[in-house]
């Protein structure tokens, strides 16, 4: 992730982006734009007051006697207060410029595209050319090699290689075909070979591309609940400090008269003090952090429907995971045929292969392949003419065929047991014991039976992904509970969960089970995240706090989720959590740094403003700043520059490593709390020395 963030930062800081962001930051100096950020609006008001007073002193120099260096001091404060505002605007503008650049690139793929609309699958000889924007949901389109896909659609005929790099950023082409998870195609992508017939499945203006453009456009980003809460806190702090500073001038006048010494504090000095002690740093960077978080999410090929979803990802307590493709490498493979007593391995392999003819799943193909390669079982489809095939489905959980008086079935133990009971028979104890033993080892047993007689078991094995156990240990250390949901029997699920290092599992899970589990955890006050790609996942996705729908999933799943993974990688949920936590950590770190900064500012401005009236306050001048004017100006300059220096941190994000909340908090306090105390002392003193060296004050 760090490498991607560095790449993001390098790509962002191009001359064109910087120049446009500088102009946008200048435009946003108008009060209407700044009213959206109350803290910075207070800074704007302070800059206006100092500007008015400075101009008044220039126009009427004799109305209130001042030395030349006093005029220069006022002008310097005025300039640096406006620079502070400009830097704060520049921070957000630079982050939004990144989003606009992405949006422009995406709009380039949504140019005027002509689609070949057809009336039916059988009538492709004379397609009607129409603009993509005129297509409606349900229209059939013909897509030939080199054609740009006009809109989001579902393949209903043909198999083709599709280049999706324009949308997903992945250079490798993908195969799209009817049915299953690979039937979804995205508008703006291009067919490389063969042809497809697809049905449009979205209304105009509601495509993937439209959603991506609206989400990456930073100007449309809404504030998240945490941002709103932090903004309220910053406003409260600003109001308290504003009321406090409002009493400083009359208090100084009174104290000066009573002590008959020194001069009362100047209004512009009080304004400078207010601008420095209000939380200008985090107020100027808050929106930048949010915009950059959404940009990093898009960099990971994930469309977040709202900033709220990204924040929720950072606060997830429970992670619901599918087994296949997330915890395991992929589909299960048949590794052995285990016959029952009195049955040969060759007999079992032949029956299993025959029962797999109608099983088009990868597991079914692996059974046929194992029977052929290891036992030379040749399946001649002509020998099964007239057979009634039973296709595998998630509901029946078995496949097979009926040919004359021969009936073969292969499937899960519960499904075969039910089939045997219909025939007045029962599953043999030997088969049940071997299946349970196999499941406890982490394998998946499939029972094979012919004419009511159980022949044996096919052993399927999952391969745990490398490093997945360590990843779950990291999540556990962060306080996140991992739960595997799988359709496997409970024995296999238990063994797989133990091998992968999961906290819990649910075997033979149904869509109703998923919804029930989510509701149970949410009732306990937990935030739940899950992934899904099918229509049966839609209810659970709609209920989950962080719901990641696969890009190649059904339209129902995409509409139910609040994030869409364009790579369709179930493991992406782990990366999404990292991005969400990094955004929250960045916000917390910079808030801590900003508040800590204010302590040093008290030690620089308070002695400068009141030491002439109360010489005892000189003891607070621990930095030994050269003069009161230099102390105030050095603090104001630091207050502006620190925003500029922290822009890369806000955009790139604070370095994040999976750890417990206590460790993260401790690191936050040590690095950004104490760092926020030390840095201003060093830099303010350095600026003061530079001003003294130049002879300015």
Last residue of a domain, one of 540, 566, 592: 566
Alpha-carbon distance 502 to 507, whole Å? Answer: 13
In this predicted structure, the answer to whether residue 74 has a pLDDT above a threshold of 70 is yes
Two tokens, residue 331: 């589909």
Task: Name the residue with higher pLDDT: 516 or 554.
Answer: 516
Stated as kind and residue range, the H or E segment containing 115 is strand 114-118
In this predicted structure, the answer to whether residue 357 has a pLDDT above a threshold of 70 is yes
pLDDT of residue 552: 65
Cβ-contact 600, 576 below 8 angstroms: no
Cβ-contact 5, 652 below 8 angstroms: yes
Residue 107 lies in a domain: no
Do 335 and 447 lie in one domain? The reply is yes
Task: Name the residue with higher pLDDT: 142 or 244.
Answer: 142
> Which residues are annotated as part of the binding site?
359, 363, 392-399, 410, 533, 537
pLDDT of residue 6: 42
Contacts of 474 (CB under 8 A, 6+ apart): 658, 659
Query: What average pLDDT does the segment 444-462 reach?
Result: 90
pLDDT of residue 172: 57
Kindly write down the DSSP assignment for every residue of 238-251, as one continuous string: HHHHHHHHHTHHHH
Count structural domains, the chain: 4
Out of 138-142, 311-315, 425-429, pick the least confident.
Answer: 311-315
Residue 225 lies in a domain: yes
Average model confidence (pLDDT) across the chain: 80
For residue 61, give the nearest of 74, 78, 49, 80 by alpha carbon: 74
Last residue of a domain, one of 541, 566, 591: 566
Alpha carbon 674 to its chain's center: 30
In this predicted structure, the answer to whether residue 154 has a pLDDT above a threshold of 60 is yes
Do 281 and 351 lie in one domain? The reply is no
pLDDT of residue 351: 92
> Which of 139, 147, 322, 462 is the catalytic position?
322
> Which residues are annotated as part of the binding site for Mg(2+)?
533, 537
Do 91 and 142 lie in one domain? The reply is no
In this predicted structure, the answer to whether residue 51 has a pLDDT above a threshold of 60 is yes
3-state helix, strand, coil in the chain (%, to 5): 55, 15, 30
Two tokens, residue 241: 């400090």
pLDDT tens profile 98-137: 656 655 555 555 556 778 898 888 888 888 888 877 888 8
pLDDT tens profile 406-419: 899 999 898 899 99
Last residue of a domain, one of 416, 444, 463: 463
200 strand-pairing partners: 153
Do 614 and 644 lie in one domain? The reply is yes
Residue 277 lies in a domain: yes
Cβ-contact 169, 186 below 8 angstroms: no
Do 333 and 457 lie in one domain? The reply is yes
Confidence class for position 1, pLDDT limits 50, 70, 90: very low
461 strand-pairing partners: 333, 443
Share of the chain above pLDDT 70, in %: 84
pLDDT of residue 409: 93
In this predicted structure, the answer to whether residue 276 has a pLDDT above a threshold of 80 is yes
Q: Give the CATH number, domain containing residue 119.
A: 2.70.150.10
Q: Is the dihedral of CA 2, 4, 10, 12 positive or negative?
A: negative
454 strand-pairing partners: 449
Residue 356 lies in a domain: yes
Stated as kind and residue range, the H or E segment containing 129 is strand 128-131
Contacts of 430 (CB under 8 A, 6+ apart): 340, 341
Q: Give the CATH number, domain containing residue 527.
A: 3.40.50.1000
Q: Which string of b and e fits 505-517 if b means at least 16 CB within 10 Å?
A: bbbbbeeeebbeb
Do 516 and 616 lie in one domain? The reply is no
pLDDT tens profile 88-97: 888 877 776 6
Do 10 and 52 lie in one domain? The reply is yes
Out of 104-108, 377-381, 384-388, 690-694, pick the least confident.
Answer: 104-108
In this predicted structure, the answer to whether residue 13 has a pLDDT above a threshold of 60 is no
Residue 681 lies in a domain: yes
Residue 572 lies in a domain: no
Alpha-carbon distance 222 to 436, whole Å? Answer: 53
In this predicted structure, the answer to whether residue 491 has a pLDDT above a threshold of 90 is no
Do 437 and 486 lie in one domain? The reply is no
Confidence class for position 61, pLDDT limits 50, 70, 90: low
pLDDT tens profile 278-336: 888 888 888 788 777 877 887 787 877 766 788 788 888 898 887 766 777 666 788 89
Do 278 and 307 lie in one domain? The reply is no
Do 87 and 153 lie in one domain? The reply is no
Distance between first and last Cα of the chain: 47
Q: Give the CATH number, domain containing residue 337.
A: 3.40.1110.10
Alpha-carbon distance 432 to 237, whole Å? Answer: 69
Do 239 and 184 lie in one domain? The reply is no
In this predicted structure, the answer to whether residue 449 has a pLDDT above a threshold of 90 is yes
Query: What average pLDDT does the segment 404-433 reach?
Result: 90
In this predicted structure, the answer to whether residue 507 has a pLDDT above a threshold of 80 is yes
Residue 212 lies in a domain: no
* Axis-axis angle for helices 280-299, 572-610 (nearest 10): 160
Radius of gyration over every alpha carbon of the chain, rounded to an integer in angstroms = 34
Do 447 and 509 lie in one domain? The reply is no
Stated as kind and residue range, the H or E segment containing 160 is strand 160-163
Alpha-carbon distance 239 to 475, whole Å? Answer: 40
Residue 407 CB coordination number (10 Å): 18
In this predicted structure, the answer to whether residue 372 has a pLDDT above a threshold of 80 is yes
Alpha-carbon distance 129 to 626, whole Å? Answer: 78
Lookup result for tokens 């991506």? 212
What's the angle, vertex CA 596, arms to CA 595 and CA 602, rounded to 5? Answer: 95
The helix/strand/coil state of 445 is strand
Domain that holds residue 365: 329-463
In this predicted structure, the answer to whether residue 151 has a pLDDT above a threshold of 60 is yes
Task: Name the residue with higher pLDDT: 395 or 376.
Answer: 376
Confidence class for position 220, pLDDT limits 50, 70, 90: very low
Task: Name the residue with higher pLDDT: 552 or 392.
Answer: 392
pLDDT of residue 370: 92
- Residue 504 sits at φ, ψ, to 5 deg, of -155, 170
Residue 259 lies in a domain: no
pLDDT of residue 570: 67
Residue 23 CB coordination number (10 Å): 12
For the question of residue 322 being annotated catalytic, the response is: yes
Alpha-carbon distance 625 to 623, whole Å? Answer: 5
Query: What average pLDDT does the segment 651-670 reach?
Result: 79
Lookup result for tokens 């429970």? 318
């Amino acid at each position: 992730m760090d490498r991607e963030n560095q790449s993001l930062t390098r790509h962002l800081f191009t001359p064109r982006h910087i120049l446009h962001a500088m102009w946008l930051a200048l435009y946003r100096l108008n009060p209407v734009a700044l009213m959206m950020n109350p803290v910075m609006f207070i800074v704007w008001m302070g800059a206006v007051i100092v500007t008015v007073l400075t101009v008044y002193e220039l126009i009427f120099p004799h109305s209130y006697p001042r030395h030349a260096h006093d005029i220069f001091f006022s002008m310097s404060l005025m300039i640096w207060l406006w620079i502070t505002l400009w830097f704060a605007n520049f921070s957000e503008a630079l982050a939004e410029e990144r989003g606009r650049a992405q949006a422009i690139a995406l709009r380039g793929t949504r140019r005027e595209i002509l689609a070949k609309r057809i009336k039916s699958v059988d009538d492709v000889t004379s397609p009607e050319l129409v603009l993509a924007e005129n297509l409606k949901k349900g229209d059939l389109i013909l897509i030939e090699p080199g054609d740009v896909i006009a809109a989001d659609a579902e393949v209903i005929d043909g198999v083709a290689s599709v280049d999706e790099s324009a949308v997903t950023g992945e250079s490798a082409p993908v195969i799209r075909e009817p049915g299953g998870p690979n039937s979804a195609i995205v508008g703006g992508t291009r067919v490389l070979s063969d042809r497809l017939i697809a049905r449009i499945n979205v209304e105009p203006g509601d495509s993937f591309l439209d959603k991506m453009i609206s989400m990456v456009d930073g100007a449309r980003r809404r504030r998240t609940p945490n941002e709103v809460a932090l903004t309220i806190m910053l406003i409260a702090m600003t109001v308290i400090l504003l009321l406090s500073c409002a009493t400083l001038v009359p208090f100084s006048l009174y104290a000066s008269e009573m002590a008959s010494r020194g001069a009362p504090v100047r209004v512009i000095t009080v304004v400078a003090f207010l601008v420095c002690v209000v939380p200008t740093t985090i107020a100027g960077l808050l929106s930048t952090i949010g915009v950059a978080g959404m940009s990093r999410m898009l960099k990971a090929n994930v469309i977040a429907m709202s900033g709220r979803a990204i924040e929720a990802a950072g606060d997830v307590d429970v992670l619901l995971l599918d087994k296949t493709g997330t915890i395991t490498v992929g589909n299960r493979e048949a590794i052995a045929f285990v016959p029952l007593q009195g049955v040969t391995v060759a007999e079992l392999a032949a029956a299993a292969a025959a029962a797999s003819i109608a099983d088009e799943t990868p597991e079914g193909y692996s059974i046929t392949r194992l029977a052929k390669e290891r036992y030379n079982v040749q399946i001649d489809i002509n020998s099964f003419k007239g057979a009634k095939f039973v296709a595998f489905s998630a509901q029946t959980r078995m496949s097979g065929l009926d040919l004359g008086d021969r009936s073969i079935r292969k499937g899960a133990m519960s499904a075969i047991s039910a089939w045997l009971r219909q025939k007045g028979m029962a599953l043999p104890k030997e088969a049940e014991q071997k299946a349970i033993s196999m499941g406890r080892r982490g394998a998946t047993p499939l029972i094979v039976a012919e004419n009511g007689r159980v022949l044996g078991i096919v052993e399927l094995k999952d391969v745990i992904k490398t490093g997945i156990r360590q990843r779950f240990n990291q999540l556990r250390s962060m306080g996140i509970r991992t739960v595997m949901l799988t359709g496997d029997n409970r024995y296999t699920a238990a063994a797989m969960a133990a091998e992968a290092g999961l906290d819990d599992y649910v075997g033979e899970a149904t869509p109703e089970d998923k919804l029930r589990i989510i509701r149970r955890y949410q009732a306990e006050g937990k935030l739940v995240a899950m992934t899904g790609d099918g229509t049966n996942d839609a209810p659970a996705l709609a209920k989950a706090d962080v719901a990641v729908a696969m890009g190649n999933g059904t339209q129902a799943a995409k509409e139910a989720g609040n994030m869409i993974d364009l790579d369709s990688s179930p493991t992406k949920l782990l990366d999404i959590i990292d991005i969400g936590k990094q955004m929250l950590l960045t916000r917390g770190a910079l808030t801590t740094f900003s508040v800590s900064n204010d302590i040093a500012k008290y030690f620089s401005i308070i002695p400068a403003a009141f030491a002439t009236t109360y010489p005892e306050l000189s003891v607070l001048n621990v930095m030994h700043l050269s003069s009161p004017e230099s102390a105030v100006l050095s603090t104001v300059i630091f207050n502006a520059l620190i925003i500029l220096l922290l822009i890369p941190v806000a955009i790139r994000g604070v370095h994040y490593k999976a750890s417990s909340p206590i460790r993260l908090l401790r690191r936050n306090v040590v690095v950004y709390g104490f760092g926020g105390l030390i840095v201003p002392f060093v830099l303010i003193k350095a600026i003061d020395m530079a001003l003294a060296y130049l002879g300015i004050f």
